[in-house]
Amino acid sequence: MKHIFQKGKDLTKPTFLLLHGTGGNELDLLPLAGMVDDEASYLSVRGNVLENGMPRFFRRIAEGVFDEEDLVFRTNELNQFLHEAAQEYGFDRNNILAIGYSNGANIAASLLFHHQHALKGAILHHPMVPRRGNELPDLSGKSVFIAAGTNDPICSPMESKELQALLEKANASVELHWENRGHQLTREEVEMAAKWYRKLLFD
Ligand code: MLT
């Protein structure tokens, strides 16, 4: 997968897996990652699917309607890429924290839904429920921060709460943070994510 790897100053920190939104690329979330932890390593990946020239991490049939077969295929592909990247760059495969926005948050949630050991945790900006009806792996010990918008036209507050409930049912520890905004990624929510991350790191 097309990507950027930036080795951090402190190799005991998690490696951030950065996953952009629809139409974005692997450069988009680098400044945001720096706001969360400027000493961590970053693996920033570009989605392998193109929708009218816009990179995405999996196909969709319509806005908010996912191609489930492709979602599962792309989730497995990304998980496999993480194994390979960890070997190539020498970072700890078991200490990856995903940071995703929108479509990138959805594939990060899908990694959690399908692969018990894919991620140590995740910061999900405006995620949806990636899939319904599959049994989640045991996510004990995983920590997830969700930033959601009370007026998000793409992801309703009900869906954000549903995602929280599904992850908690699988034993993940989840913090759901609300912004009185829409689908946009705000500086405020990144600051809240950074606060959550620092607490996680030093607890
Ligand atoms: C998706 O397709 O993953 C969601 O609708 C969010 C987005 O527009 O990327």
Higher pLDDT, 118 or 64: 118
CATH number at 187 reads 3.40.50.1820
Structure confidence at residue 200 as a pLDDT band (50, 70, 90): very high
- Residue 154 confidence (pLDDT) above 80: yes
Nearest ligand 1 atom to the CA of 60 is 2
Q: What is the average pLDDT value for the chain, to the nearest integer?
A: 97
| Average pLDDT for 135-140 | 98
Start-to-end Cα distance in the chain: 34
According to the model, what pLDDT value does residue 167 have? 98
The answer to whether 182 touches 152, Cβ cutoff 8 Å, is yes
Range of the domain at 88: 3-202
157 Cα–ligand 1 center, Å: 15
Query: Which helix (H) or strand (E) element contains residue 195?
Result: helix 187-202
What would the pLDDT profile of 71-125 be if each residue is shown by its tens digit? 999 999 999 999 999 999 999 999 999 999 999 999 999 999 999 999 999 999 9
- Catalytic annotation present for 83: no
> Per-residue pLDDT for 196 more than 80?
yes
d(CA 173, CA 140): 8
Which ligand 1 atom is at minimum distance from the Cα of 56? 9
Residue 135: what pLDDT?
96
Q: How confident is the model at residue 27 (pLDDT cuts 50, 70, 90)?
A: very high
d(CA 4, CA 113): 25
| 152 labelled catalytic | yes
User: Could you tell me what percent of the chain has a pLDDT over 90?
Assistant: 98
| Residue 203 predicted with pLDDT over 90 | no
Split into its structural domains, the chain has a count of: 1
Q: How far is the CA of 64 from the centre of ligand 1 (A)?
A: 6
Contact 130, 71 (CB under 8 A): yes
User: Does the C-beta of 154 come closer than 6 Å to ligand 1?
Assistant: yes
